[in-house]
Amino acid sequence: MKALVFHGIKDIRIDEVSKPKINQDEILVMVSYAGICGTDARIYNGTKKITPPRIPGHELAGVIVEVGQGVKGYREGERVTVYPMLHCGDCYVCKGGRTNICVNRKTIGYEIDGGFAEYIKLPAAAIKKGNVIKIPEGVSDIAAAASEPLAAAYNGMLRCQLKGKETVLIIGGGPIGLFHVQLAKIFEADKIILSEPMENKRKLAKELGADLCLNPLAEDLAETLKDFTGGEGVDCLLMDVGRVDVIEKSLNYIKKGGRYVLFAGCPQGAQITIDPNWIHYREIEFTGASSSSPANHRIVLDLIASGKIKMDPLITDIFPLKDWKKGFENKSNYEGLKALIDFRGEF
């Protein structure tokens, strides 16, 4: 079969590899589409480290073509997507219920071969832990292949702890930011503000429910936000851009007692400088959001099925495998929104 294989930094190739053979407790899936994540671009650039050789791809949809004899609850022909992170269940965070930040987590596409291939073998652990999720009726393979980042965005929204009638500021209008705009509506935020330099993304955010879209390159965000919130600042900020300068600037946008959620990952080794008194005197809750859970992934698939979350406007590119590099480059340059690789034949 054809697969996209990571051999080292700036060295990803389309290889002919053998089709995986499954054990009796595993499932073989024929991949239809796999999403390109910012992390995949970071793997290529070397700012996210994985051990080669490895098939990346942690966002995927496909159809089951083989089910091991010992596997219950799945059958050939069913469409599935995968929640890619496998938690251990034994570490202190897992025992405390926060499996998404498991100490021993292993992720399909990072430590286990992923979805940038014609076929993927789903390990027994993924099946047992509920990570193999049937795609509900009314959700296309294309939407399902882009649902993993939505599950992660959903976790970020939970971390906001919106209490109703609150103002949310979302920084960055990429796929995650645009998911957050839609989720903030579902979570009944009073006002949804998006900061994004690219006009087409601001326009889309408006259509998807943002009340106010700001261009951080054209205006003084701190001033505009002050005016908009009657001098108070926003209740909650979701940082969907992994850039130190943007993060450092954004600290002043929050009101006293507000919440700040760092959603986006930064390049390894990044450092921010903040005024500790800004957190101390204002009692700002400063936190992060990482990964998600199979339960959240099921919830967001239902949100797509019910039409509450719109996926179509966010999926801007579907590349044949041979053009994978264009997709990765677009990600690095913030061009387009969600891009997928098509694995249904024609390479």
* Binding stretches for Zn ion (CB under 5 A): 37, 39, 87-88, 91, 94, 102
Residues 6+ apart with CB under 8 A from 119: 1, 19, 20, 28, 29, 30, 31, 65
Before 84, cis peptide (omega within 30)?
Answer: no
Tell which residue, 88, 29, 35, has the closest CA to residue 339.
35
Query: What is the distance between the alpha carbons of residues 7 and 109, in angstroms, rounded to a whole number?
Result: 13
Helical axes 199-207 vs 175-186, angle rounded to 10°: 20
The Cα angle at residue 265 between residues 145 and 49, in degrees rounded to 5? 80
Residue 104 beta carbon to Zn ion: minimum distance, rounded to whole angstroms: 5
Query: What is the distance between the alpha carbons of residues 321 and 328, in angstroms, rounded to a whole number?
Result: 11
Residue 89 beta carbon to Zn ion: minimum distance, rounded to whole angstroms: 6
Query: What is the distance between the alpha carbons of residues 197 and 210, in angstroms, rounded to a whole number?
Result: 15
Residue 313 beta carbon to Zn ion: minimum distance, rounded to whole angstroms: 19
Residue 72 beta carbon to Zn ion: minimum distance, rounded to whole angstroms: 24
Between residues 20 and 35, which has the closer beta carbon with respect to Zn ion?
35
Residue 91 beta carbon to Zn ion: minimum distance, rounded to whole angstroms: 3
Between residues 103 and 217, which has the closer beta carbon with respect to Zn ion?
103
Residue 87 beta carbon to Zn ion: minimum distance, rounded to whole angstroms: 5
Between residues 87 and 297, which has the closer beta carbon with respect to Zn ion?
87
Q: Which stretch of DSSP H or E encloses residue 36?
A: strand 27-36
Between residues 263 and 343, which has the closer beta carbon with respect to Zn ion?
263
Between residues 40 and 211, which has the closer beta carbon with respect to Zn ion?
40
Q: Which stretch of DSSP H or E encloses residue 256?
A: strand 254-262
In the block, tokens 């499932």 appear at 27
Residue 294 beta carbon to Zn ion: minimum distance, rounded to whole angstroms: 14
Between residues 86 and 321, which has the closer beta carbon with respect to Zn ion?
86
Residues 6+ apart with CB under 8 A from 72: none
| Residue 146 C-beta-side C-alpha neighbours within 13 Å | 26
Between residues 5 and 176, which has the closer beta carbon with respect to Zn ion?
176
